[in-house]
Chains A and B, each alone.
Chain A
Amino acid sequence: MEQVPLSHVLILSSILFFLGIYGFFSRRNMITMLMSVELILNSININFVAFNKYLYPHQLEGVFFTLFIITIAAAEVSLAIAIVINLYRRFNTIDIEDTNTMKF
């Protein structure tokens, strides 16, 4: 792994990040938007671990940030899916173009 330069890992994670951005803005379905958010969070985790491994191997800060991001992602997904199920009960759809009752 030492022969892989750090910039290649960062390019992998940034491509993944912007794939997530594209998916978030191009999807209409809320669950697929949630999947795109997961891709974004994962690419950031790769960044943290790579910086910790390559540049600051004498400490563990990247691991801790990754750990907390994974925890918060779990909380976020459970809340988002609760909201999606509630919306589905009320409007019978989870398409963002159709659920515009509270749209300004």
Chain B
Amino acid sequence: MSASAILFYILGALILTFGILTVFTRKIFRAAVYLLLSLIGIAGIYILMDMQFVAALQIVIYVGGIVVLIIFSIFLTHQAGERLPSRLPKHLLWAVSMASVGLGLTIWTLYNYSYTPAGIAPIEHSVKNIGRQLLSYDKFGYVFPFEVVSVLLLAAMIGSIVIAMKKKQETPSNSPNSGEKKILN
């Protein structure tokens, strides 16, 4: 067993442990911290697979952005040290049965399928190659999804601002109809 294989199994065990803790812990802030550690472990697996760019993206966006956003929203909506309530046993039974049956089916399929590599000479998964193909408009270029996703990000940004914006309190001097509405209501 080489060093990278041992590292892979250690990282996998860490990811699964922190994933289990994320799902089962009763304190919401601890769940967020366990999620953070699990995401860092996944970045380690990307580095083991020679995908340094994806690992950097994982650290920057997931760990630096998404988890921090989740922690902020936890602070906005929760009292510190509150324990989360658990669901009804009926829901828990559904969740356990769905997860276990799905996991069993998936692992059975994974073991019974034979994977055949394409067998073509590999290219380097460097940032240079990724950037060239991502922004090329030739046959296998990805410039169109790139632009679409930028529009999606803009739409999500505007949408989340509009949704989370506080509505202004209507004052009678600003809106002439509000007095009438009060009488009618």
What is the interface size of chain A, counting residues whose CB is below 8 A from a CB of the partner? 72
Taking the closest CB of chain A, its distance from the CB of B26, in whole angstroms, is 10
Chain B residues, CB < 8 A from A46 = 42, 45
Which residue of chain B has the shortest Cβ distance to A95 in the bound complex? B85
Is there an interface contact between B49 and A85, defined as CB atoms closer than 8 Å?
A: no
Count of residues in B whose CB is under 8 Å from the partner chain: 86
**Contact flag A67-B57 (CB < 8 Å), given A74-B66, A82-B159:** yes
| Complex interface: chain A residues within 8 A of B98 (CB) | 21-22, 25
Known: A3-B5, A64-B134. A35 touches B70 (CB 8 A): yes
Interface of chain B: mostly helix, strand, loop or mixed: helix
CB <8 Å contact, B77 and A94: yes
Q: A14-B106, A63-B51 are in contact. Are A42 and B42 (CB under 8 A)?
A: yes
Query: B145 at the A/B interface (Cβ < 8 Å)?
Result: yes
Number of A-B contacts (CB under 8 A): 232
CB contacts under 8 Å to B, within A16-50, are 16-29, 31-32, 34-36, 38-39, 42, 45-46, 49-50
Q: Give B24 Cβ to nearest chain A Cβ, in Å.
A: 8
Per-residue CB contact flags for chain A residues 74-95 toward chain B (1 = under 8 Å, else 0) read 1111110111111011000011
Given the complex, which residues of B lie within 8 Å of A12, measured CB to CB? 12, 15-16, 45
In the bound complex, CA of A8 to CA of B78 (Å):
39
Given contacts A23-B23, A63-B51, A84-B77, are A55 and B116 in contact (CB under 8 A)? Answer: yes
Contact residues in A for B121 (Cβ distance below 8 Å): 58
CA distance A19 to B38 in the complex (A): 12
User: B71-105: contact bitstring with A at CB < 8 Å (1 yes, 0 no)?
Assistant: 00110110000001111000110111011101100
Contact of A74 with B153 in the complex, beta carbons under 8 Å: yes
How would residues 2 to 19 of chain A score, 1 for a CB under 8 Å from any chain B CB and 0 otherwise? 011011111110111111
- Considering the chains assembled together, what is the distance between the CA atoms of A88 and B77 in angstroms? 7
Assuming the contacts A39-B19, A42-B39, A77-B70, asked whether A11 and B110 have C-beta atoms less than 8 A apart, the reply is yes
The complex places the Cα of A36 from the Cα of B111 at a distance, in Å, of 26
